[in-house]
A and B are shown apart, each in its own frame.
Chain A
Amino acid sequence: MKRIWQTLTSGMSKFIIVRLLQIILVLYLYMTLVFIILEAQPGDITDIYTANPKITPEAKEAIVKQLGLNKPIYERYLNYLRNFVTGHLGCSFKWGNIRDVPDPVCREQRPTWDLIRERLPRTIVLFLTYTIVSFYIGFFLGKLIAWRRGAIIEYFSTVVGVVLFTVFTPWFALLLVWLFAVNLGVVPIGGFINPDSWTNIRQIGSVDCSIGISCSNIVFNHMLLWLGGLTLFWGIVYLWSRRFPYPWQRNTARWGAVALGLVLAGLFFGGGWLGEIDRVVLARDTKFEFFVWHFEFPAGTIPLFPLALDFVQHMVLPILTLTLISFAGTMLLMRNTMLETMREDYVMAAKAKGLPDHVVRDKHAARNALLPVVTSLIFAIAFSVDGGVFTETIFSWPGMGQLLLLSALEQDYPVAIGSLVFTGIFALVAHVIADILYAFLDPRIRYD
């Protein structure tokens, strides 16, 4: 017992625990703020019926009463907090139930949590992918242009990067849609699946998909789990391989883990075992489009990959847009810090040790230059939450940003509050992860 307490209170764990407690406090303040701000807005749900003569003032009052909007504000605030703690985020004013069985609490209304559970993974996947891609491109280019200072690539990427960084985001996004989706027709215009193909699906795994599109999340969650699982697996192999006696053994283990992960994922999505979880049953012959290619699948059992690819092709354009717009920030920051670390004595020492050029650059200079850039990554994650409203609207990506916009426009309080709170939780968790990451990247930082 004493030992457990010691581990909990020592260094890193203590830091994480303290940080989590702080987060709970921040979250409480944030939730209160969100509630107050939404309450302070003029009007309520009945405003959307203003232009509808069939809804009489009496009917409006009945709606207000039914939704509990006539209760005093403190009572509603306490209700809201109590609901949140018990894990119930209220019922949507707008969205109707789509399940066969009515919800025990919300009946014909749709529970907010149900909406969020459906949409949060979509936002996380889109923005996590974009953050990683854009961060890596920025990091890579920044490192390169600092290392080969004065080369053509420096002028080119700096000018292009800065222009894209300052351009008006929605305009640029629409321009790319016009170019790649409308004119060239290589990617879908928007949305996150191609409904024509999905309506023919009768079953995914063991779940009956008679309602069609609602099944998309099964595939989506599979992809998410695989991504997370493989990353975790690779991380473990990486740490484990550090103890290997020879460098080539380390590299073999790391690349081997990548290959193994890809093979396993390929087997799963390619129909390697077509079991209880990765089988898709088509009701009739279906055409799947993937960029410019078309696949025709006969009715019957098919693997998951056409559905997974359908997601991927819908993600390409949003990710491309977001990356182009934002990579320059990381790139310029990386360039500056890299130029600074390149002057350090340990970089010269690494060169003198006879290490190959790319090892000096990556392992010694870039590794140290990375530290301040990780800080900017935290801001990038925070940005992805508000940027989501823009991007998801333009690309009709049915994620949290779009949900937030729709519910705010339609005075759907529970959903607006719920999605705001969840984006807040998302940002806070990202901050903690970044803090922990930082402690691992820089051994000089000890949070005790």
Chain B
Amino acid sequence: MAPLTTYPVLQVENLTMHYTTRKGAVKAVEDVSFSLDKGEALGLVGESGCGKTSVALTLLRLLPENAQFLGGHVYFFRDGSDEAHARRAVGKPVKILLDGQEHQGRLVEVDRSQLVLDARLNGRTQQIKLGRDDIARLGVDLTALSDEEMRPIRWKGISMIFQAAMNSLNPVYKVGDQIIEAMQTHMPIPIPEARERVAQLFQLVGLDRQLMDRYPHEYSGGMKQRAVIAMALACDPDIIIADEPTTALDVIVQDKILREMRQIQKKLNMSMIYISHDIAVIAEVADKVGVMYAGGLVEFGPSEAIFKSPIHPYTKALMSAFPSIKGEKVKLAALPGEPPDLIKPPSGCRFHPRCPYATEICEREVPKFIEHKPKQYAACWNPLM
């Protein structure tokens, strides 16, 4: 097995999810695809209500009851040698990375040394057997798991820093105990060791270790935010989703915490998904950026490329609507119009009513999400090249 320099931890394909309401289905997530590599930070950016948080909740399968999952796959990758992961994948759609090649199929059986897979090869379905050691990465489709099978993935595989982190600490338990609870759910770790680990995490996020025996109401906003970050790190997850991690904080604390998160992420070589409406935050932390508009991904690519030369008009509009402290003084351009109603979204490209470059085809047909520049994808009929 050749060591890979970069390999995926998450691949999202054609994710679609609607909310059922009395007025009709709210098309909150439409056909969203992206991938995340090990050690990479992905930023999802877009206006409020464009479906960023819904994407995150779909990944963790934490959707409210009125949510309808309509299709798509979420492949969560681990090493092929991870026993629990392989067992969990039996009978489920999987993706396998083998000698730099991707194979898709359904895992039939797994034992100590090999893995039996129903896969389509050369146009026909056949059963293949693969040695466990040959497999670099095994990805299981999270959407096919039962709730009980999903439980070990939560926090240990994918953890989350919630929007309004202030409220994601339970007011009646000590902060340290809440972090220990998460650890003890996923690994048999005795309390003294767990407390030691909490102390280390607190040090990492810049909190005094004495604070772990305090209640949330004794914390300030910034301290709570740090505690929540420490909690997300508790089980050493593969991926952390940070949903508006700093929105409730003032700008100075916000900047400090973002820098620290970035440092921690680099230090632990962790994969992260940042979700924010604030393009400045995303610019600071993300390696890759996904721009969302009205439930769909409109542009995706390396952050440098996107910030230097956006392809989609919406990305451009979003960037010019935010002030930059650095760089030259430019007039802020507000985007005219309102975000569309997701119950009855506009036909064709959902952005066309607000788009200055819109042509007749935009109204008629949904643009395909294709690679316009190397590694820079966008869904637009009139890309800005």
User: Which residues of A are in contact with B by a Cβ distance under 8 Å?
Assistant: 243-247, 344-346, 348-357, 364, 367-368, 441-444
Kindly report which residue of chain B lies nearest to residue A365, judged by CB atoms.
B170
Q: List 14 A-B contacts (CB under 8 A).
A: A243-B191, A346-B171, A351-B154, A354-B151, A354-B152, A354-B155, A354-B182, A355-B151, A355-B181, A367-B172, A368-B171, A443-B171, A444-B171, A444-B217
Known: A353-B155, A353-B181. 10 other contacts (CB 8 A): A245-B191, A246-B190, A247-B184, A345-B164, A345-B168, A351-B62, A352-B155, A355-B181, A443-B172, A444-B217
Q: A364 to chain B: closest CB distance in Å?
A: 6
| Contact of A364 (CB < 8 Å), options: B154, B159, B170, B217 | B170
Flag if B168 contacts A349 (CB, 8 Å): yes
**Once the chains are docked, how many angstroms separate the CA of A12 from the CA of B164?**
32
| Total A-B Cβ pairs within 8 A | 78
Output the nearest chain A residue to B195 by Cβ-Cβ distance: A245
**How near does chain B come to A347, taking the closest CB pair, in angstroms?**
8
A442 contact set on B, CB distance < 8 A: 171-172
Which residues 231-286 of B have a CB within 8 angstroms of A?
Answer: none
Q: In whole Å, how far is B371's beta carbon from the nearest beta carbon of chain A?
A: 34
Q: Given contacts A346-B170, A353-B154, are A245 and B190 in contact (CB under 8 A)?
A: yes
List the 4 shortest-distance A-B pairs measured between CB atoms, nearest first: A245-B190, A354-B154, A345-B167, A349-B168
What's the minimum C-beta distance from B47 to chain A, rounded to whole angstroms? Answer: 22
Bound-complex Cα distance A311 to B51 (A)? 63
Cβ–Cβ contact B171 & A353, under 8 A = no
A443 touches B181 (CB 8 A): no
Contacts of B170 in A (CB 8 A): 346, 349-350, 364, 367-368
Closest to A371 in B: B172
- Give a binary string over B204-230; 1 marks a CB under 8 Å from any A CB, 0 the rest: 000000000001010000000000000
* Cα A441 to Cα B60 with chains together (Å): 31
**CA A46 – CA B125 in complex, angstroms?**
104
User: Would A344 and B172 count as touching, CB distance under 8 A?
Assistant: no
A150 (CB) vs chain B CBs: closest residue: B65
Q: Determine whether the beta carbon of A348 is less than 8 Å from that of B215.
A: no
- A138–B110 Cα gap in the complex (Å)? 48
Tell me, yes or no, whether B186 is within 8 Å of chain A by CB. yes
Alpha-carbon separation in the docked complex, A351 to B217 (Å): 21
The contact string, 1 if C-beta is below 8 Å from chain A, for chain B 149-164, is 0011111100110111
- A352 vs chain B, min Cβ distance (A): 5
Is there contact, CB below 8 Å, between B191 and A443? no
B188 contacts the other chain (CB 8 A)? yes
A356 touches B154 (CB 8 A): no
CA of A444 to CA of B172, assembled, Å = 8
A243-B192 Cα distance, complex, nearest whole Å:
9
A348 contacts which of B62, B152, B184, B185 (Cβ < 8 Å)? B62
Report chain B residues within 8 Å CB of A355: 151, 181-182, 185
Bound together, the chains give a CA A344 to CA B193 distance in angstroms of 30
Q: B160 to chain A: which residues have CB within 8 Å?
A: 349, 352
Residues of A with C-beta under 8 A to B172: 367-368, 441-443
Q: Indicate whether A348 sits within 8 Å of B168 (C-beta atoms), given known contacts A353-B182, A353-B185, A444-B217.
A: yes
Is B94 part of the binding interface, using a Cβ–Cβ cutoff of 8 Å? no
Does B169 lie at the interface of the complex (its beta carbon under 8 Å from any beta carbon of A)? Answer: yes
- CB pair B168–A443 under 8 Å, yes or no, is no
Report yes or no: A352 in contact with B62, Cβ–Cβ below 8 A: yes
How many angstroms from the CA of A442 to the CA of B217 in the assembled complex?
Answer: 11
For A354, give its contact among B153, B163, B188, B190 (CB under 8 Å): B153
In the docked arrangement, what's the CA distance between A115 and B193, Å?
Answer: 59
- Chain A residues with Cβ below 8 Å from B181 are 353, 355
Would you give the 0/1 interface string for B53-90, flagging 1 where the beta carbon is closer than 8 Å to chain A? 00000001010000000000000000000000000000
CB distance from B40 to the nearest CB of A (A): 21
Q: Which residue of B lies closest to A354 (CB)?
A: B154
Inter-chain contacts of A346 with B (CB < 8 A)? 167-171
List residues of chain A with CB within 8 A of the CB of B168.
345-346, 348-349
Interfacial chain A residues near B184, Cβ < 8 Å? 246-247
Select the residue from B164, B170, B182, B185 with max chain A CB neighbours within 10 A. Answer: B170
Q: Which residues of B contact A351 (CB under 8 A)?
A: 62, 154
Tell me whether A348 and B162 are in contact (CB under 8 A).
yes
Bound: A293/B33 CA distance, A: 70
A344 pairs with B167, CB closer than 8 A: yes
Tell me, rounded to whole Å, the shortest Cβ–Cβ distance linking A394 to chain B: 40
**Distance between Cα atoms of A353 and B180 in the complex (Å):** 11
B366 smallest CB distance to A (angstroms):
32
A247 to B193, CA, bound (A): 14
Task: Find chain B residues with CB under 8 A from A352 CB.
Answer: 60, 62, 154-155, 159-160, 162
Residues of B within 8 A of A245 (CB): 190-193
Indicate if the CB atoms of B191 and A244 lie closer than 8 Å.
yes
Name, among A345, A353, A356, A368, the residue most crowded by chain B CB atoms within 10 Å (CB to CB). A353
Asked if B188 and A443 sit within 8 Å, CB to CB, the answer is no
Query: Distance in Å from the Cβ of A373 to the closest Cβ of chain B?
Result: 14
Most chain A CB inside 10 Å of its own CB: which residue of B147, B156, B185: B185
